[in-house]
Amino acid sequence: MRVGWIGTGLMGEPMARRLLAAGHRLAVYNRTPSRTRKLVAAGAGAAGSVAEAVAGNEVVVTMVALPADVEQVFLGPGGVLAHAAPGSVVVDCSTSSPELARRLAEQGAERDVAVLDAPVSGGPAGAEAGTLSIMAGGDAEAYARVRPLLAAVAATVVHHGPPGSGQLAKLVNQTLVAGATLAVCEAYALAHRVGLDPELVRESTRVGVAGSPLFDFLWTRLAAGDLEPGFKLDHFIKDLALVREAAGESPLPGVGLVTELAERARAGRGGGRGTQALVTAIMERAR
């Protein structure tokens, strides 16, 4: 397929690389152009603008950051919907607002462009290995057309229903991620406090009932004192806000607590660190 790819960050870059490896032809655009260098060296075409990435392509994939960024990339001047070819499919893989996903699908339909929401789970390692899980929403016929493309980056692709339902499924996933991230960071703080060797704890825990890919990923980084992001605090806090919005009046006490800790971990140190930095807020609270 001829694909326009927008957003080559921690997730977008390895996802785009898998599509290239699967034989698709890509035109890649990133706001900071230097971040497309590796993909261009691997055979992708360089697009100098969103319009250039979109023009003439049968499929466009966006992988940006916050709902405001998605809105800007789709609806801003020179945005995706102004340039997408009639009959094309645009797939937003960012974790974004279900309400925005519905609005983009409606505005796309007015121009004969199908807009699907297709957020992902699995982190940069899953993107590199092509083992992501994709939660899709939107027009079923358009979904069927791009499913083979999505399967090049994912082990599992599920269509949840109408526009916005992929984002809703991802927010359910992020509710689980919130609880699991808190659990791993809290357990790490305890292991540290009682003087256990984190590597030995990892060895005995990972194969038991409490083991998980998220445990492995976060614990390994914590044990190495590495707070670089696989998943940025800024994006975690964005997801938690979307979860609370989706829940409306229904209380989600765990999500409230994780939000408070994540905001404390971000305060004064920026949101570019990884979610494992939650441990700093837990340890500071203990002091």
Residues in contact with ligand NAP by CB under 6 A are: 7-12, 30-32, 35, 63-65, 69, 72-73, 94-95, 120-121, 123-124, 230-232, 235
Indicate which residue of 38, 170, 232, 238 is catalytic.
170
To the nearest whole angstrom, how small is the minimum distance from the Cβ of residue 12 to ligand NAP? Answer: 5
Which C-beta is closer to ligand NAP: that of 177 or that of 191?
A: 177
CA distance 206 to 227: 21
Q: What minimum distance in Å lies between the beta carbon of 122 and ligand NAP?
A: 7
CA dist 215 and 222 (Å) reads 10
By beta-carbon proximity to ligand NAP, the closer residue of 7 and 191 is 7
The yes-or-no answer on residue 238 being catalytic is no
d(CA 101, CA 97): 6
Per the CB < 8 A criterion, the answer to whether 137 and 161 are in contact is yes
C-alpha to C-alpha distance for 249 and 253, rounded to whole angstroms: 12
How far apart are CB 22 and ligand NAP at their closest, in Å? 20
Min separation Cβ 96 and ligand NAP, Å: 6
Nearest residue to ligand NAP, by Cβ distance, number only: 9
* Closest approach of ligand NAP to the CB of residue 70, in Å: 8
Shortest gap between Cβ of 243 and ligand NAP (angstroms)?
12
Is the CB of 80 or the CB of 105 nearer to ligand NAP?
80
Which CB sits closer to ligand NAP, 65 or 113?
Answer: 65
Closest to ligand NAP by CB, 40 or 109: 40
Q: Which is nearer to ligand NAP, 7 or 166 (CB)?
A: 7
Catalytic residues: 170
